[in-house]
């Protein structure tokens, strides 16, 4: 079954459940994102891509894998849009598909022994299913 | 009132100091913590998608257990508090999530968000009161310049967490005053520490922790306090040239109440 880009965008919109049509492209989310400097598609461009049904742009971006889920973008958006929810929708779409896991447990063998469990649980929740 | 307590995975292992000091101080301040007889890890991150039902179950199990034992649940770790408080909000306000979680759990009485979730700091502020706390301090931490590090999870989203003013919080600063030290306000106190990037991209942690450490040091802070084990880890293990010491807020509380011999970290 071939899924069109439009259908993928509809699925992403449903998962994200945030009203991107309210976005005014002011860029405050990107200005407040502490990790925007690592992203290839800035948070406000992620919103714009979803509004335009550009699912491939969203699914190919590295941004969701750099996002910290700190909710600064959503908290400070003047229009109540949540770029964080779009990042989560993209992550889930990727990791819910077979073979979509991003974090290989074998690569973590030598992590710092002070690393709290909380960090491992969080990372595996965000990067794997 | 019964103070049901949810410690969470990290407080039973890598962050025992946060937990042990909290229990001791709660006892001394008249709100002994009663650990839930059974609890599971909260999942550490809030499941944002509304179709993520399995990821909400452990929080709801803890919330329902607290409902059967007086209706109050105290949390301590910022991540546990964030997850449990937000899932509780979903259970009270999102009919679809409410129904699907209850269908799965099959509780005798469906859970619909009845439990009151309180962070330990909220108990100090709203039940004990900072004035009363101040009166119980036997060893005020005079001369200590403490930067409160809130991070992101305690405060945001403000509408759901309703913990404090989301951009200009003061609960930790008022706590610091109550134990006799001086709070230092600095720009980065409610910015993220980079959280789980400690596992996947340390360069992000180093950059962000560097900014937080410099911001606090430049404002005159001599040390940090925090409520979150992952913040504490990042602030110390991913610091650069500036590396202020970090304690959990319950450790400095125990110190001020004369409940331990040690000092700050």
- Rounded Cα gap, residues B204 and A1, in angstroms: 39
Closest residue in chain B to residue A39, using alpha carbons only:
B204
Contact B174, B165 (CB under 8 A): no
pLDDT value of residue B263: 46
- Rounded Cα gap, residues B226 and B204, in angstroms: 20
List beta partners, residue B226.
Answer: B248
Mean pLDDT value across residues B221-232: 98
Closest residue in chain B to residue A68, using alpha carbons only:
B194
CATH of A5-97, one of 1.10.1060.10, 1.10.287.1080, 1.10.287.180, 3.40.50.300: 1.10.1060.10
pLDDT of residue B98 exceeding 90, the answer is yes
Could you tell me how far CA B227 lies from the centroid of its own chain? 4
* DSSP helix/strand/coil, B37: coil
Closest residue in chain A to residue B229, using alpha carbons only:
A116
* Domain residue ranges in chain B: 3-121, 129-256
pLDDT in tens, A16-36: 999 999 999 999 999 999 999
- Select the residue from A80, A116, A120, A126 to test the B interface by mutation, using most B Cβ atoms within 10 A: A116
- Rounded Cα gap, residues A117 and B44, in angstroms: 9
- Rounded Cα gap, residues A82 and A76, in angstroms: 9
Number of neighbouring beta carbons within 10 Å of residue B206: 17
pLDDT value of residue A108: 86
- Rounded Cα gap, residues A106 and B99, in angstroms: 38
Question: What residues in B contact A117, CB-CB < 8 Å?
Answer: 9-10, 13-14, 41
- Rounded Cα gap, residues B89 and B161, in angstroms: 9
pLDDT of residue B167 exceeding 70, the answer is yes
* The pair of three-digit structure tokens given for residue B93, joined into one six-digit string: 């306000």
pLDDT value of residue B261: 62
- Rounded Cα gap, residues B152 and B193, in angstroms: 8
* Domain residue ranges in chain A: 5-97
pLDDT of residue A103 exceeding 60, the answer is yes
Mean pLDDT value across residues B204-232: 98
Mean pLDDT value across residues B188-216: 97
Contact B123, B74 (CB under 8 A): yes
B30: left (phi over 0), alpha (psi -120 to 50) or beta: left
| Cis before B173? omega within 30 | no
Distance from CA of B20 to the nearest CA of A (A): 16
pTM of the model: 0.97
CATH of domain B129-256: 3.40.50
Question: What residues in B contact A122, CB-CB < 8 Å?
Answer: 44-45, 79, 195-196, 199, 230
Rounded to 5 degrees, what angle do the CA atoms B43, B49, B51 make?
Answer: 95
pLDDT value of residue B127: 98
Distance from CA of A2 to the nearest CA of B (A): 23
ipTM: 0.96
Question: What residues in A contact B49, CB-CB < 8 Å?
Answer: 15, 17, 88-89, 92
Fold of B3-121: Glutathione S-transferase Yfyf (Class Pi); Chain A, domain 2 (1.20.1050)
pLDDT in tens, A38-89: 999 999 999 999 999 999 999 999 999 999 999 999 999 999 999 999 999 9
- Rounded Cα gap, residues B123 and B133, in angstroms: 11
């Amino acid at each position: 079954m071939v899924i069109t880009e439009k259908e993928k965008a509809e699925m992403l919109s449903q998962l994200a459940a945030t009203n991107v049509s309210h976005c005014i492209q002011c860029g405050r989310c990107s200005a407040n994102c502490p990790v925007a400097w690592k992203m290839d598609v800035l948070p406000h461009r992620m919103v714009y891509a979803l509004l335009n049904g550009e699912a491939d742009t969203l699914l190919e971006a590295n941004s969701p894998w750099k996002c910290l889920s700190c909710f600064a973008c959503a908290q400070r958006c003047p229009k109540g849009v949540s770029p964080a929810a779009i990042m989560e929708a993209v992550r889930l779409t990727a990791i819910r598909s077979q073979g979509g896991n991003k974090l290989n447990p074998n690569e973590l063998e030598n992590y710092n022994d002070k690393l709290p469990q909380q960090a491992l649980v969080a990372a595996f929740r965000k990067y794997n299913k | 009132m019964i103070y049901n307590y949810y410690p969470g995975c990290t407080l039973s292992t890598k962050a025992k100091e946060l937990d042990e000091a909290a229990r001791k101080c709660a006892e001394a301040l008249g709100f002994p913590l009663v650990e839930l007889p059974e609890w599971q890890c909260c999942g550490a991150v809030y499941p944002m998608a509304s179709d993520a039902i399995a990821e909400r179950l452990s929080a709801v199990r803890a919330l329902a257990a607290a409902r059967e034992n007086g209706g109050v649940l105290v949390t301590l770790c910022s991540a546990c508090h964030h997850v449990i408080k937000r899932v509780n909000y979903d259970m009270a306000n999102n009919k679809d999530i409410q129904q699907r979680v209850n269908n799965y759990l099959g509780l005798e009485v469906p859970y619909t968000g009845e439990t009151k979730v309180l962070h330990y700091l909220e108990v100090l502020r709203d039940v004990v009161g900072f004035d009363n706390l101040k009166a119980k301090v036997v060893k005020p931490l005079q001369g200590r310049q403490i930067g409160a590090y809130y991070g992101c999870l305690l405060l945001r989203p403000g509408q759901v967490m309703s913990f404090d003013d989301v951009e200009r919080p003061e609960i930790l600063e008022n706590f610091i005053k109550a134990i006799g030290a001086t709070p230092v306000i600095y720009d980065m106190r409610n910015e993220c520490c980079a959280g789980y990037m400690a596992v996947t991209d340390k360069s992000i942690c180093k950059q962000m922790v560097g900014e937080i450490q410099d911001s606090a040091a430049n404002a005159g802070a001599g040390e940090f306090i925090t409520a979150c084990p992952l913040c504490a880890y990042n602030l110390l293990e991913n610091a650069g040239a500036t590396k202020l010491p970090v304690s959990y807020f319950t450790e400095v509380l125990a110190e001020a109440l004369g409940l331990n011999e040690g000092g700050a970290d």
